[in-house]
Chain A
Amino acid sequence: DGGITQSPKYLFRKEGQNVTLSCEQNLNHDAMYWYRQDPGQGLRLIYYSQIVNDFQKGDIAEGYSVSREKKESFPLTVTSAQKNPTAFYLCASSTGTGMQPQHFGDGTRLSIL
């Protein structure tokens, strides 16, 4: 079955450490997205990529970085510059054409030790 795989499901980070969240899709989608979900705030866009080797900042990109070297992969790095990284991170993808809905992964919950 096609879908989006996020790993790990739970991740713990020490202060001052960078961590990378994995997102892989086998839907052959061109566009991929990272959202952050906090209680009572819905989802907020961190970064998005409409095509391989290209990505753009979303609404809350500070303290995060991404890469898009392959169509199926869009890893997110949470750097030590992100002062409040504890959250639920969701990856999504879409065909990128028209206004097609996005498909979401199961998410990664990041906590600070």
Chain B
Amino acid sequence: AQSVSQHNHHVILSEAASLELGCNYSYGGTVNLFWYVQYPGQHLQLLLKYFSGDPLVKGIKGFEAEFIKSKFSFNLRKPSVQWSDTAEYFCAVMDTGRRALTFGSGTRLQVQP
């Protein structure tokens, strides 16, 4: 069975700091990877996705993620965070058979002004 690990459960940063959230997956086949964000009181939104090709993926709101196959990782990055980035971030891998997502436990990001 596939699994996703997010090692940072709660991250606190000051505005303008750089962000990197870790995500590791265990899945032997072709992977399709996603980062979702859940702002307070809002529904889950897609930040970015990786299916194939360039391992550096750019998403919305200045976020990017790098797929490193040898490390089974798909870390999320942003050079300079803003207070509005305060949210919970979920990494997910798609089960190609069920076409359903397996999620990590999430990372709560708190950006202090």
**B101 contacts partner chain A, Cβ-Cβ < 8 Å:** yes
As a 0/1 sequence over residues 37 to 49 of chain A, the CB contacts with chain B under 8 angstroms (1 = contact) are 0001111110010
Among B42, B99, B105, the residue within 8 A (CB) of A94 is B99
Interface size for B (C-beta < 8 A) is 26
Smallest CB gap from A101: residue in B:
B46
Asked if B100 contacts A107 (CB within 8 A), the reply is no
A58 and B100 contact, Cβ closer than 8 Å, known pairs A90-B44, A104-B44: yes
Do B103 and A105 have beta carbons less than 8 Å apart? no
- Number of A interface residues in the complex (CB < 8 A): 25
Asked if A43 contacts B90 (CB within 8 A), the reply is yes
Across the two chains, which residue of chain B brings its CB closest to A58? B100
A26 CB–B CB distance under 8 Å: no
A33 in contact with B96 given A42-B90, A107-B43 (CB within 8 Å): no
A43-B90, A90-B44, A106-B43 known; A99 vs B99 contact (CB < 8 Å): yes
A25 within 8 A of B: no
13 more contacts with CB within 8 A, not counting A43-B92, A48-B100, A99-B32, are A33-B101, A40-B9, A43-B101, A43-B103, A44-B103, A48-B98, A48-B99, A90-B43, A94-B99, A99-B94, A101-B49, A104-B36, A104-B45
**Chain B interfacial positions (CB closer than 8 Å to A):** 4, 6, 9, 32, 34, 36, 42-46, 49, 51, 90, 92, 94, 96, 98-106
Q: Which A residues fall within an 8 A CB radius of B?
A: 4, 31, 33, 35, 40-45, 48, 50, 56, 58, 90, 92, 94, 96, 99, 101-102, 104-107
